[in-house]
Structure 1
Amino acid sequence: MRTPYAEVAAAPGAWTHPLRLPPDRFQRVQQALTELARTGRPVAAFLLGGEGEPVTDVELYRDPSRTFGTPDIAACEEAVRALSAATGWPAAPRPEADSGLLVGLGLREGYAPGAREHAPEETADHLRALSATGWECRTARLVSARLVGGAVRWYDEVGVVIRAEARLLPAIEAAACAFAQHRFTVTDLGHRRTYVLQQRDGE
């Protein structure tokens, strides 16, 4: 069956790095990540929790780009060391899972600030329709920062972070389609690769 999404960029390896920090305001975490991006290191991260909640968990990941490429894992680890040195944020225990998928989905349709926003529970409905087990879904701020033309381009929105067995990718795609998501990144732990799915042209 043809899905509404197609793979448009990929990189070998399935790297993520969680950090644990004392409860802090989103704006202070944003500043720290912006400063990291200002050094030329692209930032993609999940900040667990909803809008207005203190940030205690940050999980960095790689977001392959057709325009800018993908930083290698060694460069990502070096960026984490620089971030920890600047902020004092310690590494958190890494999830033990060596299979399955890690995906962040935005809940706002498109990129316009005033567009319709879906509820986090709607993601769980799509997953539950396919399977009652094999997944977990948490609310998070999805953020990215990249130095472009001498200025940091920052983006964030409220979304969800999904950890799921690979067989549940169709349910994730269904949720992404329902939320009118143009693209999303899949960290595939089982196949040790990271890739971007983007809506097919004309759909």
Structure 2
Amino acid sequence: MRLQVLYLTGQSDPRSCALSPVQDAFLDALPVPEAAKIRLNFPYDGALAPPHGSEWRKVPIWLGSLRHLVLFVRIRLLMTGWAARHRPGVEAQLARAEHTLVLAGSIGLDLLGRLDLPREVLDRLTVVAYGAVATRPPRCRTIRVASSSDHLARWWPRDVEVRSGHLDYLDSPELAALCHRLATELGEDAA
């Protein structure tokens, strides 16, 4: 496959890799073939996807934020093997395409950086980091999208400003236009 598009966000629900309906709809609107739209989130484990016909479970922002904070602390202080445990699965998913457009929400950019992926993998990534909260971003092409209304991410660097709250970036017409343009360009470049 020449190009794939996938999400890398924090695990608000650590029991699932399912995409939310909003994430699915955002993927649906991108100008790439269906096979290029990866319908799992980090860590891309099909065993963590809900069974066919099951509903995606909404996680309240307070609980998702708490889980992200716990993950943030555990990775830095307690889980020295976190990257080694997750890197092979992420690398396997990224190896399925010549180039990957990563939609990194919230702490997803930090998680991607902490995987310590090899340079040859990073060179094949373009990351759109929306609402990014990252102390250790990866060294690859990254476009940071943020909003002054986002109380979690407004203090972090940004390349593009949109009007959004922390959970509403995928509703932003500016983010949709940016991702549409990138998907088109990357699809052409990979062809």
TM-score bracket, normalised by the shorter chain, equals under 0.3
The answer to which structure, 1 or 2, has the higher relative contact order (CA under 8 A, 6+ apart) is: 1
Greater radius of gyration (CA) = 1
TM-score by length of 1: 0.26
- As a proportion of its length, which structure holds more helix? 2
TM-score, length of structure 2 as denominator length: 0.27
